[in-house]
Amino acid sequence: MSESLGAPRHEVCNSGTPHTTTRVQRLKLSNVKGVPLPSSICAIFDKTEKFQAKGDDVLIATYPKAGTTWMIEIVDSIRQGGITKEIKTIPSHERAPYLEFNGLNVISTGLDLLEAMPSPRLVKTHLPFQLVPQSFWDKGCKVIYVARNAKDVLVSFYFFHKMNVRLPETGTWDDFIESFLSGNVAFGSWFDHVTGWWDVREKHQILYVFYEDILQDPMREVERVAHFLGHTLDKVTIQEIVKHTAFDMMKDNPMTNASIFPTSILDLSISPFMRKGQVGDWKNYFTVAQNERFEEEYRRRMAETSLRFRTEL
Ligand code: A3P
């Protein structure tokens, strides 16, 4: 047990008082083929399933809070050969539409944005492997899956629930840990998600990338992604991409920091979208008892897989 674990230091995380909002009705979760998804996403899932991918679409798939926005910025910069005017002026969610997203008439659905988008398209999804539309596999699309260690995802997801005023209430921090461990959260079990994609990575064109690796050595990981996508970039361009996609840059960039979303969707006054961008932030929130409980379940759920994560650098 790490010495640095102790009483939680963050008030919000441990207040036990769920945030409520009077402005918007928080959504409930419903099931699609046994996977809990926000009810808005379930409502249009029959259309999502029929999505027709094109051969040059690139799919970025993640469990929520694994670094999706970061990878979108990296891949878009690679595909455009550097930091172009489009990258500087078009919001991330328009450059890489969120496939299954239903904006409930406040903002466009992912499907509508994708329909209107010229090729080559960049597509974002949080779906587990088994729910991804079949056309991606029929067309042999390239997929980049980003995975992040469960403890940092859990903390990040907790704060994201507070500020994404359409996600269900979290309950207390303790409640949310239990919901996460049992997979009763949006997009289901983290364990099933990361292992499901891991198990099929060699059956399709899937590059499996770890958040912790990008943070540790962004030059190497950007180069690896570029190579996978069939791009050769010179060192100066890679350096430019690494600089543009660093946490502090993305935090201040309105195209990536979610500040353009209405507060009826994301309320940044509750928690920033670009929150900390670190490995090991979980230590500031897990008590010793919570960590023991988590580790026990983690060992049980990860016993059969070769997939390994780092929870500190
Ligand atoms: P934290 O809440 O731990 O800070 P997603 O885009 O999948 O929703 O993931 C969001 C998480 O990725 C947030 O984590 C966010 O800060 C982090 N993130 C986004 N851009 C990043 C970057 N350039 N470097 C490091 N972390 C980044």
Ligand 1 centre to CA of 256 (Å) is 10
- Give the residue from 101, 92, 121 showing the smallest Cα distance to 47: 101
Nearest CA to ligand 1 atom 23: 247
Query: For residue range 172-209, what is the model confidence (pLDDT) as tens digits?
Result: 999 999 999 999 999 999 999 999 999 999 999 999 99
Q: Give the C-alpha separation, 310 to 148, whole Å.
A: 8
Are 125 and 141 in contact, with CB atoms under 8 Å apart? no
User: Which residues, judged by CB distance below 6 Å to any ligand atom, belong to the binding site of ligand 1?
Assistant: 62, 64-70, 152, 156, 159, 215, 245-247, 250, 274-277, 281
- Amino acid identity of residue 16, one-letter, is G
Query: Which atom of ligand 1 sits closest to the CA of residue 64?
Result: 7
**126: annotated active-site residue:** yes
% of residues, the chain, pLDDT over 70? 92
Nearest CA to ligand 1 atom 9: 65
Q: What is the pLDDT of residue 4?
A: 31
Ligand 1 centre to CA of 113 (Å) is 23
Query: Which atom of ligand 1 sits closest to the CA of residue 276?
Result: 4
Q: Give the C-alpha separation, 255 to 258, whole Å.
A: 7
Q: What is the pLDDT of residue 106?
A: 84
Ligand 1 centre to CA of 275 (Å) is 7
Nearest CA to ligand 1 atom 8: 65
Ligand 1 centre to CA of 139 (Å) is 30
Q: Give the C-alpha separation, 285 to 11, whole Å.
A: 9
- Reported pTM: 0.93
Q: Give the C-alpha separation, 60 to 47, whole Å.
A: 19
Is the predicted pLDDT of residue 272 greater than 80, yes or no? yes
Catalytic residue among 10, 19, 126, 204: 126
Ligand 1 centre to CA of 277 (Å) is 5
Nearest CA to ligand 1 atom 14: 277
Mutate to test the pocket of ligand 1, among 156, 219, 250, 255 (most ligand atoms within 8 A of CB): 156
> pLDDT category, 25, cuts 50, 70, 90?
confident
Q: Are strands 142-147 and 206-210 parallel, antiparallel or unpaired?
A: parallel
Q: Which residue has 């919001």 as its token pair?
A: 91
Name 234's Cβ contacts closer than 8 Å, sequence gap at least 6: none
Q: Give the C-alpha separation, 95 to 124, whole Å.
A: 10
DSSP state, residue 263: T
Lowest mean pLDDT among 80-84, 261-265, 283-287, 293-297: 261-265
Q: What is the number of other CB atoms lying within 10 angstroms of the CB of residue 56?
A: 12
Structural domains in the chain?
52-301 (3.40.50.300)
